[in-house]
Structure 1
Amino acid sequence: MFILELTYPGPLERVDELLDEHVAWLNAGYEAGVFIASGRQNPRVGGVILAVGDDRAEIEKLTATDPLLIGGACTYRIIEFFATTTAPALAPYRQQLP
């Protein structure tokens, strides 16, 4: 599983200009079953996406297509972890340690 941390290095106006495209990109990730949660940080200095998968390279390829990143409005920090314990509703996403 992955935590995708977005940081906005520039003005929020640039983020807002690309927000509709970013939301469409997010929706495609949800439809593909890759994203399970996302939202803004508070204060609004970036965002967070919780993504499922076992292949970091695939997640890196996916984040590279985010309109916010392409448009220079965000940077990504990708944190990979093993979700060995979850709330019951997230049981399908539990992972075993390698």
Structure 2
Amino acid sequence: MFIVLLHYIQPLPAIDPHMQQHRDFLDRHYRAGHFVVSGPQMPRIGGVILARNLDRLQLDAVLAEDPFYRERLARYEIIEFNPSKFADGAEHLFAPAN
């Protein structure tokens, strides 16, 4: 499992015109079972994606599809981890997609 931290490297007026394409990218990968949760950082300096069911090379290929990457609007920090402890009832959120 991976935590992907997006850090904007352009000002928000350059980010906003690409937001719908970025959301479409996210939707494709939610449907594919790759993304568990995502959202903006607060304050709005970037975003966070929790990804699963991919190895690192696959994740890199997926992120290369992101309009924020293609347009050089964000850089990515990737943290791989193995979830081993869960809040009651949360295990299903982190199980591999079927």
Q: Structure 1 length normalisation: TM-score?
A: 0.89
Q: Retained in 2: the 8 A contact 1:84–1:94? A: no
Count of matched residue positions in the alignment of Structure 1 and Structure 2? 95
Unaligned runs of 5+ in 2: none
**Aligned equivalent of 1:41:** 41
Percent same amino acid among aligned pairs? 38
2:54 aligned with 1:58: no
1:60 Cα deviation after fit:
0.8
Q: Retained in 1: the 8 A contact 2:4–2:77? A: yes
Q: Retained in 1: the 8 A contact 2:34–2:51? A: yes
CA RMSD of aligned residues (A): 1.5
1:14 Cα deviation after fit:
1.3
1:91 Cα deviation after fit:
1.4
One-letter code aligned to 1:78:
I
**Aligned equivalent of 2:27:** 27
Structure 1 stretches of 4+ moved >4 Å = none
1:89 Cα deviation after fit:
3.7
**Aligned equivalent of 2:70:** 70
Unaligned runs of 5+ in 1: none
